[in-house]
Amino acid sequence: MSDEFPAKSADPRLQSVRLDEASALSPDFYAGDHWLGVDQAAVLEPGWQILCPASDVAQPGDHVVRDIGRVPVLIVHAADGALNGFVNVCRHRAGPLALCDGKGAKRLRCAYHGWTYDLDGQLRTAPEMQDAQSFDRDGIALARIELQTWNGMTFARARAGGPDFATVMAGIDALAAPYDLAGMHHHHRRIYKVAANWKTYVDNFLEGYHLPFVHPGLSGVVSYPQYRTELAPFWSLQRAPVSDPNGLYADGEALYFFIYPNTMLNILPGRVQTNRVVADGPSHCRVEFDFYYAPGFESMAEADDAFSDEIQGEDRLICERVQQGLNSGAYRPGRLSPSQEAGVWHWQNLLREAYARAEGGTTHGDANN
């Protein structure tokens, strides 16, 4: 990544600096509704992010509901085979079309007053509207969002404004190819709630510096001395050799991808675990975990889940304490380790750039593409 960042700001907290001169992002950005709103509007909503396994929406009528920033979204497999992404907000008075994931729907019916839409988003019926003058039923359809399917995973963004999908993902395919992610099968999902800002959780993901102190079990599996970080414009990769004394994981390499703004791919031999970090408030986030296994590796799922749960508990505790520290009013940004925190620096500069652009009033449409 270059040291040049196009969005300049007079705010010293938003000025990007070289890695060997860098400090952490100001704690100001980890608190309060203003910056939560900026995160949602300028970072999360225009950012491509993993939403669900493609297998969850494999058949006509299958649908999945999620939130991207403030935007409720609905992914639905239509009768013609198309995968459609909609804003899950009725065109009448903003009711929800679907309240939870489901299978085999023939239509989408709003839970508020019962307007129905076809699976392609077209309004089909609107009860009690016969007296409404110039009511153009055929001209009413659900707003769409963009979707992409990648290696059996469905990605989406709530609105344009950031880089396109191919630009974000460029280079990951080649690195992930030996793992044949598309050949893995989704096994189970878990959701973790963490009493920390969503960025605190991402910060923590982006370095292995804490491994020896926070994760004694994982330190015995992943080689901390050989841990290294690679940077691309919109993602980073932490990688290290794996050698598991307990035999749960085959020898090989661990690849931890972070895809800006909130997706993680954790690849170990025979397994990928995906994470999406969702902002639930200035001091709360939720992390969606999906576990996929290669054929023949499903038998490790229970032990893998238990080990992952142990690591997640360790990360949750430290993130919650760090959030207290960030909120204390007594913390000033500390220097980053150039050898251990390049991933943190990289992503915090992407945030600084997004914040500078948002605070400068630049419109979403001319952000990056």
CA 121 and chain centroid, separation? 25
Interacting stretch for Fe ion, rule CB under 5 A, among 23-31, 147-155, 307-315, 332-340? 307-315
Compute the least distance from the CB of residue 113 to ligand FES, in Å: 3
Are the beta carbons of 265 and 274 closer than 8 angstroms?
yes
C-alpha–C-alpha distance, residues 326 and 259, integer Å: 24
111 vs 306 by CB, closer to ligand FES: 111
H or E element at residue 292:
strand 284-293
CB of 111 to ligand FES, least distance (A): 7
Size of interface with Fe ion, in residues (CB under 5 A): 1
Total Cβ atoms within 10 A of residue 362:
15
> DSSP string spanning 218-232?
HHTTB-GGG-EEEE-
Q: Which lies closer to ligand FES via its Cβ, residue 132 or residue 191?
A: 132
Q: Which two tokens stand for residue 120?
A: 């392609």
Task: Answer with the entry of Fe ion, ligand FES, none that 115 interacts with (C-beta below 5 to 8 A by kind).
Answer: ligand FES
Q: At 27, is the secondary structure helix, strand, or coil?
A: helix
Interaction partner, residue 341 (Fe ion, ligand FES, none; CB < 5-8 Å by kind): none
User: CB of residue 139 vs ligand FES: minimum separation in angstroms?
Assistant: 16
Which segments within 56-184 are labelled E, that is strand? 63-68, 71-77, 83-87, 108-109, 116-117, 123-125, 146-150, 153-157
Choose among ligand FES, Fe ion, none what residue 209 binds, the Cβ cut-off being 5 to 8 Å by kind.
none
Nearer to ligand FES, 95 or 252 (CB): 95
Rg (C-alpha) for the chain, rounded Å, is: 22
Query: Which option in Fe ion, ligand FES, none does residue 177 bind, with CB closer than 5 to 8 A by kind?
Result: none
Residue 185 binding partner per list Fe ion, ligand FES, none, with a CB distance cut-off of 5 to 8 Å that depends on partner kind: none
Contacts of residue 213, defined as CB under 8 A and 6 or more positions apart, other chains included, come to none
- Nearest residue to Fe ion, by Cβ distance, number only: 315
Min. distance of Cβ 142 from ligand FES in angstroms?
Answer: 11
Please state, in angstroms and rounded to a whole number, the distance separating the CA atoms of residues 369 and 367: 6
Of 70-78, 97-105, 176-184, 315-323, the window that binds Fe ion (rule: CB under 5 A) is 315-323
Q: Residues in the site for ligand FES, rule: CB under 6 A?
A: 90, 92-95, 110, 112-115
Q: Which position among 315, 347, 358, 367 is part of the footprint of Fe ion (CB under 5 A)?
A: 315
CA-to-CA distance for 20 and 27, rounded, in angstroms? 20
Q: Which does 90 bind (CB under 5 to 8 A by kind): Fe ion, ligand FES, none?
A: ligand FES
Report the nearest approach of Fe ion to the CB of residue 176 (Å).
21
Going from the C-alpha of 78 to that of each of 67, 75, 103, the distances in angstroms are 20, 10, 11
Shortest Cβ distance from residue 312 to Fe ion (Å)? 8
Sites of contact with Fe ion (CB under 5 A): 315
